[in-house]
Amino acid sequence: MDLTESDIQAYAGQRRKMVEKQILGRGIKDLSVMEVLSRVPRHLFVNSSLQHRAYGDCPLPIGENQTISQPYIVALMTQVLDLKGGERVLEIGTGSGYQTAILAELASHVFTIERVKPLVKKTKELLEGLKYKNIVFKTFDGTYGWRDQSPFDAILISAATPSIPKSLIEQLADKGRLVAPVGERESQDLIVLNKNGNKVMERKIGSCKFVPLIGKFAWSEEE
């Protein structure tokens, strides 16, 4: 994908306002998360007809019945992963690739899995066009994780799950952090899981509504 500097720089004022009102205004404190959200061109991750709404305080459709997450939720989930720059991160549910880009800015390697093939194709082209070199894509059922590349310092599940798949907890490194929307299909708690030796601690950091995680260790398509 050929992107010009002005394509990328567009909507700068809206991006700044988004960070002030929705991110800083709601208590996100991690400066590196704020800096990255004020830089990554969110409007390029939605269809051109929705670009003028890309910086609004809500999720938006991205095709294939899926959505790009609300900016605040992206910031909150990223902040709890506490990325310092050297981490290997696993993301389940690439979708538009917006969260993927945010992770790629803050960690050293991002491994991202998406089950819907056309989304992977589109998103891969966009992220390559934006010159990200530290993202590896896979089209598969992410509830299995990515064993060959494990362990991961951080794991982010971008779709609602009835429980956190065991395979993903196993693939988390010692001292690793995992964040996921866990609950019913219609509403979920945002859960952070910390691994410490063979101890696993979980805490709730908010409520949310994500599209379902569909796979072997989550929901089946028909439900």
Q: Which residues pair with 215 in a beta bridge?
A: none
Which residues, in sequence order, are CB contacts of 192 under 8 Å at separation 6+? 80, 177, 178, 179, 202, 203, 205
Q: Is 213 in the site for ligand SAH (CB under 6 A)?
A: yes
- Ranges assigned E (strand) in the chain: 60-63, 66-68, 88-92, 109-114, 135-139, 152-157, 172-183, 188-196, 199-208
Q: How many CB atoms sit inside 10 A of residue 156's CB?
A: 25
Min separation Cβ 74 and ligand SAH, Å: 7
Catalytic (active site) residue 158 = no
Told to check if 171 binds ligand SAH by CB under 6 A, we report no
Looking at 78, 79, 99, 150, which residue binds ligand SAH (CB under 6 A)? 99
206: Cβ–Cβ under 8 A, 6 or more apart, which residues?
Answer: 76, 189, 190
Could you say which of 96, 150, 171, 188 contacts ligand SAH (CB under 6 A)? 96
Residue with smaller CB distance to ligand SAH, 149 or 175: 149
The smaller minimum CB distance to ligand SAH, of residues 44 and 113, is found at 113
Closest CA to 137 of 171, 170, 105, 93: 93
For residue 151, say if its preceding peptide bond is cis, omega within 30 degrees of 0. Answer: yes
Contact region for ligand SAH (CB under 6 A) — 16-24, 35-43, 65-73, 196-204?
65-73
Q: Say if residues 175 and 149 touch (Cβ distance below 8 Å).
A: no
Of the candidate spans 129-137, 172-180, 184-192, 207-215, the one that interacts with ligand SAH by CB under 6 A turns out to be 207-215
Answer for which of 69, 150, 171, 188 binds ligand SAH (CB under 6 A) is: 69
Residue number with CB closer to ligand SAH (61 or 174): 61
Report helix, strand and coil shares of the chain as percent, to nearest 5. Answer: 35, 30, 35
User: Closer CB to ligand SAH, residue 180 or residue 193?
Assistant: 180
d(CA 137, CA 123): 9
Least spacing, CB of residue 136 vs ligand SAH, in Å? 14
Which of 119, 126, 172, 208 is close enough to bind ligand SAH by CB under 6 A? 119
In the complex, the residues that contact ligand SAH under the rule CB under 6 A are: 62, 66-69, 92-93, 95-96, 98-99, 113-116, 119, 141-143, 158-159, 211, 213-215
- Cite the active site residues: 69
